[in-house]
Amino acid sequence: MTTFDNANPALVPAVLTPEEQQAVWFLGALIRIRTGGASTDGRLAVLEHTGPRGYGSPVHLHKADEETFLILEGSVRVDVGGRALSAGPGTVAFLPRQLPHAFVVTSHDARFLTLHTPSGFDEFTLAAGAPADPPFEVPPAELPPDPAALAEIAGSYGIEILGPPPLPA
């Protein structure tokens, strides 16, 4: 990371090369943490998700952070407020904190960003995922995560899991 001399952490920019960014296998997908709380003084996390059809999250809510999705490739269904909303390339979905939601990849595969303000979700993925190293070709053979263990880890990061993940239609 390029460092800057500044006594005020709120005024220190973060510039991270791809080699400095972390990556994990999480719930069957590759997540690249493009920037996280450690480099943004806890104000922002940007994660890039690359996952196959069926990759998704359990129904959950974030107690402290807003989550914004930006779909880059493929299609993702965002379930929120009792509605299932289809999101294709270029679609942005802003989900305020405390709002139950889930997502699922409905195309063959998808690539999208999630932005979390403030950060924290980045630390959750590191705690619950398995480290990934280039060339990111084959995920490790992993069992589906134990829902109780995932809920416990999530809870320690201000995320409440409310139900199972949605299925792609």
* 84 vs 166: CA distance, rounded Å: 10
Residue 69 has pLDDT above 80, yes or no: yes
Separation of first and last alpha carbons in the chain:
42
| 123 close to 44: Cβ distance less than 8 angstroms | no
Instruction: Compute the average pLDDT of residues 93-97.
Output: 97
Query: Are the CB atoms for 8 and 73 separated by under 8 Å?
Result: no
Name the residue among 52, 19, 27, 48 with its Cα closest to residue 134: 19
Domains, in order of start, for the chain: 16-133+144-163 (2.60.120.10)
Indicate the pLDDT class of residue 6, thresholds 50, 70 and 90: low
More confident residue, 152 or 136: 152
pLDDT at 42 over 60: yes
Nearest residue to 123 (alpha-carbon basis) of 22, 55, 50, 52: 22
Banded model confidence at residue 106, pLDDT cuts 50, 70, 90 = very high
What whole-number distance in Å separates Cα of residue 146 and Cα of residue 162? 14
Q: Could you give the 3-state DSSP secondary structure of residue 147?
A: helix
Task: For residue 127, name the pLDDT band (cuts at 50, 70, 90).
Answer: very high
Q: Where are the alpha helices (DSSP H) in the chain?
A: 37-40, 121-128, 147-155
Q: Which residue has the higher pLDDT, 145 or 45?
A: 45
pTM of the model: 0.90
